[in-house]
A and B are shown apart, each in its own frame.
Chain A
């Protein structure tokens, strides 16, 4: 089983749609969680951190369910510029593993006019 699993998609949605991505992780001791965005042939960039209480940043909402080891990202009112690959990222706990980010394979989103 992969440490971080995502549905690779692709998701093709019209502008204005709401789209949700899901992610599961295997290490129950993991400490911190993130969504990164990666444009084609570019480096990953932090979209948002994910906190236990859930958090929102404009049109983006992230949720964490530690009991189910499940992370989600909701994008409302999709824009053409949201087209990218969304990477679910987990930071495992403790010791020298801290900081060794584990990435899912990414979910491809294409927003069309």
Chain B
């Protein structure tokens, strides 16, 4: 399978614990995005990387959230001191930049987080 992969697919944790999610983009895609989706809503942008550089972070990404892409390939998203409001699906997407109308983001299956 050459699509975007995410691990784990599901995570249940207790409030206050730290969690880390991993995303492996489509190979040779140099842009990688993280989104968060809550029930009944569309995905919301969190942050994105071009190669290893983190170029933008949403105001949704509080100090408890950190994302890295150290070698410009896979990325991790860590949430420290989780809160119940962090429960959501965390989606990763990757793209290969091209002409405006041609850049398509391909999404991974997501990591569904439940904070008890």
Contact = CB atoms under 8 A, between A and B. Distances in A.
Interface of A: 4, 8, 31-32, 34, 41-46, 49, 51, 87, 89, 91, 96-106
B76 interface: no
A103 B103 contact: no
Interface in B33-72: 33, 35, 40-45, 48, 55-56
B25 interface: no
Contacts of B112: 41
B74 interface: no
A46 B105 CA distance: 8
Interface of B: 31, 33, 35, 40-45, 48, 55-56, 91, 93, 95, 97, 100-101, 103-110, 112
Contact of A45 (B101, B107, B110): B107
A92 B43 CA distance: 15
Contacts of B107: 43-45
Contact of A101 (B40, B56, B105): B105
A99 B108 contact: no
Of B40, B42, B55, most buried by chain A (CB within 10 Å of CB) is: B42
B55 A96 contact: yes
Given A42-B109, A43-B108, A44-B107, A31 B100 contact: yes
A105 B45 contact: no
24 contacts: A8-B40, A32-B100, A32-B103, A34-B104, A43-B108, A43-B110, A44-B43, A44-B91, A44-B107, A89-B42, A91-B100, A96-B56, A97-B56, A99-B31, A99-B97, A99-B105, A100-B56, A101-B45, A101-B93, A102-B45, A103-B42, A103-B44, A104-B42, A105-B40
Contacts of B55: 96
Contacts of B41: 105-106
